[in-house]
Chains A and B, each alone.
Chain A
């Protein structure tokens, strides 16, 4: 599974960081950064939560 982030859509709500801190961080302006494009299985639930709650629909989890 691969995580895709469209940072230009991000509204800096920080929801992804709260849902999956090992996979997402924020830059100095609060815009999301992807730390790990292919997170380990134990982080996938957090990523799915981030996909579900991201208000800007900027995150996707895709099959490879």
Chain B
């Protein structure tokens, strides 16, 4: 609030606010104060984006879920009024089915749902536990302090998704660097386009190899769809790219940001350190997903028919942005929403979105986070930040929120 009051505010009082808004620097885990004010005023308000367009910002939970579950709301980035996050990416094409509507979205998505079924993911739990334990062994044997993102948070989802897809992990430096560029909002469209094309080229090569010589992995299964005439090479590459990227930054940032949030809340961290109950750990993961906000720029859509909702009429051709971080702090749904409380029932959060586009990889993300949060603080009970909070650089400049680095010691 203080920042708003001291701002010179040259614009008229009824000016449309810009989105995204700056966060309160002392509260890096909380949504921007201006976003909370908007939520208190109305479920939907107009905002102005980087390109001058004025889509609707949907701040309340009920309206977010209703719109995300509405077939008149399009995820196709080519739909009139679609609110883009930054300048159009230079010729990198669509990121597969997340940028399409049904029925094509459903057709493509169903091709890759099998490995993310709950029981298939459970079968991977021992392997993920071994990965996590191995990385902690390496940490304890190495120097302290160290950057937790570099040695722990990023390698976990990277190793897991590489294993699942059948991408040789030895190549991880190459695509980690490129995906970093692809999700950095300050990268130029040319830089993002080049990074995207380089990774796509690499994946296209790998798909070609799996076409000739299939293995027991997801890329081989996708290559099989090319052979069956159900996917073009281009579509298969876009799908591989989506799976490779989507699993990386999100989970890595949840691990690092979650650890930082817990280190700032020692009472809550102690609950995790002292429990042996997998149900409690699973509940804690849901609360951390609710409380934190990796996809801080919101779920974006274009409306294809007039929709009356929240006291407004959204016209066909207008954009809507559902900011899940503020939806997850809606006091109508979650009591005392700004408090991190690992004992609450937070399962109805919208951290993974809602509707037919809800995150495909969520069972995998949940399991990875359960293993991490259930292991790291027990194995390193003296884990602590090695830099003051004000020196930690938060990723306001990326499509996925988190920390650039997290120095820790023990």
Contact = CB atoms under 8 A, between A and B. Distances in A.
B116 A14 contact: yes
Contacts of B360: 11-13
B80 interface: no
A18 B348 CA distance: 13
Interface string B338-375: 00000000011000111111111011000000000000
B32 interface: no
Contacts of A56: 69, 355-356, 358
Interface in A25-41: 25-26, 28-31
Nearest to A11: B356
Nearest to A18: B118
Contacts of B212: none
A24 B187 CA distance: 45
Contact of A11 (B109, B120, B121): B109
A17 interface: yes
Given A12-B113, A31-B110, A26 B118 contact: yes
The SS class assigned to the A binding surface is loop
B296 to A, nearest CB: 20
B164 to A, nearest CB: 14
A12 B116 contact: yes
B269 to A, nearest CB: 25
Contacts of B348: 52-53
B117 A26 contact: yes
A1 interface: no
A54 to B, nearest CB: 9
Interface residues of B, number: 26
Q: Name the residue in A13, A28, A29, A56 with the highest tally of chain B Cβ atoms < 10 Å from its Cβ.
A: A13
Band of interface residues on A? 10 to 19
Given A55-B69, A55-B355, A55-B358, A29 B347 contact: no
B26 interface: no
Contacts of B106: 11
Contacts of B68: 55
Contact of A55 (B114, B121, B353): B353
Nearest to A16: B118
Contact of A14 (B110, B117, B355, B356): B117
A16 B69 CA distance: 17
B113 A29 contact: yes
A29 B112 CA distance: 8
Given A18-B118, A29-B117, 19 more contacts: A11-B113, A11-B360, A12-B109, A12-B360, A13-B352, A14-B116, A17-B118, A17-B119, A19-B347, A26-B119, A28-B114, A28-B117, A55-B68, A55-B69, A55-B352, A55-B353, A55-B356, A55-B358, A56-B355
Interface of A: 11-14, 17-19, 25-26, 28-31, 49, 52-53, 55-57
9 contacts: A11-B109, A11-B360, A13-B358, A14-B363, A19-B347, A28-B117, A29-B113, A53-B348, A55-B69
